[in-house]
Every structure is written in structure tokens, then in C-alpha cells.
Amino acid sequence: MDFEPAISAPASPTKLAWSFVFAEGHLLLPGDEDAPTPAASPDAPTRHYLGRLGGLDAWAFELDAIPEGWRSVPLRTAMMQWPALHGGLAGRAAQVIDWDRTHRFCGVCGTPTERQANERARRCPACGHSAYPRLAPAMMALIWRPGQVLLARSPRFAKGTYSALAGFVEPGETIEECVMRESFEEVGVRVKDLRYYGSQSWPFPNSLMIAFTARWDSGDIVPQADEIEDAQWFSLDDLPGIPPRFSISGHLIRDSIAALLEGREP
């Protein structure tokens, strides 16, 4: 099933559509459904066209309240359990709705903004300022050395779970510089031989995760206070709990360990 992104709804919308519905900040599903299915679109005051999924229109809707017969589902849970394409679209829908909700007034002069028909933007009719959905680029780095990987846990993680390092890019900084800085700030080590692994849109919040592997160069582990609860070198055959594959961290860690076990550099 293919997804074709778009901004403007077609002149002849499909009778059935994929609907990603939100109210009061929660993702909603009707009745006992566990995943979105094509159906007639709900009556919603706010709607955003996302494109076509499998030949059917896909929409993001925001309701004023949770209607009777619907139930809320945590977005993270849905992304873990749904097929990747549906979970990714739910994340896209959540970010579009959040952008629209938080830019209804101009950040420059306070005038109510207007949605634009030909682009994903809200424009101020008074001063001309335009607001577009913004993403925050963030690095993720799995640090390795022969036979071991460096994993850390934040106080926010589920009990017993460790992951690769992550951090947001600062103004004026390249993604590679961010990897170097965050590695030293979070765990006190220097790294080299960065290799790009992949990226993932991540709506928690509005991020683009850009993942690398990085070879340890020097330094002993010194966890950053208030940011890193624990960090350790783990043997490839003695790992702690790690994130599931729905997140790029889960893919990065597993694929890198598989390469190391085969005697390859990740």
C-alpha cells in the first residue's frame, strides 16, 4: 500500500477515507476498533488533507470533544501496535493538528491567521508573517567498540530500558557536530568514524531523528547529571532492555549489533 502526500484535497474526494481523528490532544478510535479503517469521514470543525493511502483519501481531523462511542488511544501506543505506514500517518496528523492549533494567531502582531489553500501555512493578513509546520532535527548515536555498545537510560525511560544517545541540534551546528557534542556532554566520551544509519519522523515532539553509529575514540563514561540516569558498556550477548523496532533506536541498536556479531563495522 502506497502513500502519496498532498496538501489540497482533490476535486472528487473518495467516498471512503482514512481518518486520523483527535480531540483534547488524544488520538481517537470509534467503538472497539483497534486500528484505522476506511470509512465515511466524520463531521469535524477542523480538517487537514494528508494525501492518498492505497488510493483512498487520508485526513486529519480535530473534534471539539470526544464524542460518545469513541475512545482515546495514546499516540505512542498506536504507533507501536499499528503497521508502520498507519502509525507514521497518525504521527503526521498529530503534528499538523498541533501546528494548526498553536498558530491561529500571529506570533508577530497577534492578528488571527488564515490557512493558505496552496501550501501548509497560516498567514497573517495584517503583517504578512507566515507560519509553517516546523521540525526540530535531533541526532541519535549508537557508540560502539569491538564487542561492546554504549547504552544509556534517561529517568523518563521505562524501568530497565536503555537506548542510544539522542539530543537536539543547536543553532549554527551541523548534525555531525551535534553527535560529537552530545556524546561528550551526555556520557563524557569522544567519538570518531560517524556513519549515517537512517532517519525517522518522530512526533514526540515534532522531531526528525537522524541516526548514526559512532566508534568510541577516548574517555571514560561520566553520565550527565539530570539527563542520564545510567550509562554502561554492554557486551553484545548481554544486553539490557532496548526500545522496540517501531522506533529508529530499536532498529539502530539491533542492526548494529547484528553487524558486530558478524565481524562487520556497523
Cα separation, 153 vs 159, whole angstroms: 9
The whole model's pTM is what?
0.89
Q: What is the pLDDT of residues 141-171, one digit of tens each?
A: 999 999 999 999 999 898 999 999 999 999 9
Which pLDDT tens digit goes with each residue over 202-246?
998 899 999 999 999 999 999 999 899 999 999 999 999 999 988
Q: What is the pLDDT of residues 30-45, one digit of tens each?
A: 888 888 889 888 888 8
Q: How far apart are the first and last CA of the chain?
A: 31
pLDDT for position 6? 95
pLDDT (tens digit per residue) in 47-61: 999 999 999 999 999
Nearest Cα neighbor of 163 from 56, 65, 242 is 242
The Cα–Cα gap between 80 and 246 comes to 5
Task: State the Cα angle at 83 between 256 and 139, rounded to 5°.
Answer: 40
Q: Which one-letter DSSP state was computed for residue 158?
A: P
pLDDT tens string 61-75: 999 888 888 899 999
Domains of the chain in sequence order:
3-102 (3.90.79.20), 136-261 (3.90.79.10)
